[in-house]
Amino acid sequence: MNVFGIGLPEMAVIGAVALLVFGPKRLPELGRTLGKTLKGFQSASKEFEREINKAMAEPELSESSAAPLPPSEPVVQASSQQAGSDDQPAQTTTEG
């Protein structure tokens, strides 16, 4: 029997130390709590894996099936002001 890389002799030593530290009355309670915790982690892990697989299975929208975007308007940029003419606003030009 090999659990988490720990063999039967090592598990017996861990059990004996736990019995000495926690006592015979609290040891079953701690075992139940540990079992419930591990079961909760296992179920959460399975649920997470299920959600990931579900998300991966959903078809992704390709760009060919998406509606085309309307053409964008050309951006009008202000021409730079000449040096020394800070009083006058910049002039803009549009093409088209």
Per-residue confidence (pLDDT) for residue 90, from 0 to 100: 59
Whole-prediction pTM: 0.44
Q: Is residue 7 helix, strand or coil? A: coil
6 forms bridges with which residues in the sheet? 3
Question: How do residues 33-82 score in pLDDT, each as one tens digit?
Answer: 988 998 999 999 999 999 998 888 876 644 445 555 666 776 666 655 55
How far is residue 91's CA from residue 81's CA, in Å, rounded to a whole number? 8
Per-residue confidence (pLDDT) for residue 7, from 0 to 100: 85
Instruction: Kindly state the DSSP code that residue 80 receives in the 8-state scheme.
Output: P
Question: How do residues 11-39 score in pLDDT, each as one tens digit?
Answer: 889 889 988 998 888 888 988 998 899 89
Per-residue confidence (pLDDT) for residue 71, from 0 to 100: 67
Q: Is residue 78 helix, strand or coil? A: strand
Using pLDDT thresholds of 50, 70 and 90, give the confidence band for residue 1.
low
* The two three-digit tokens of residue 28, written as one number: 């079953």
How far is residue 46's CA from residue 59's CA, in Å, rounded to a whole number? 22
Query: Domain map of the chain by residue range?
Result: 24-57
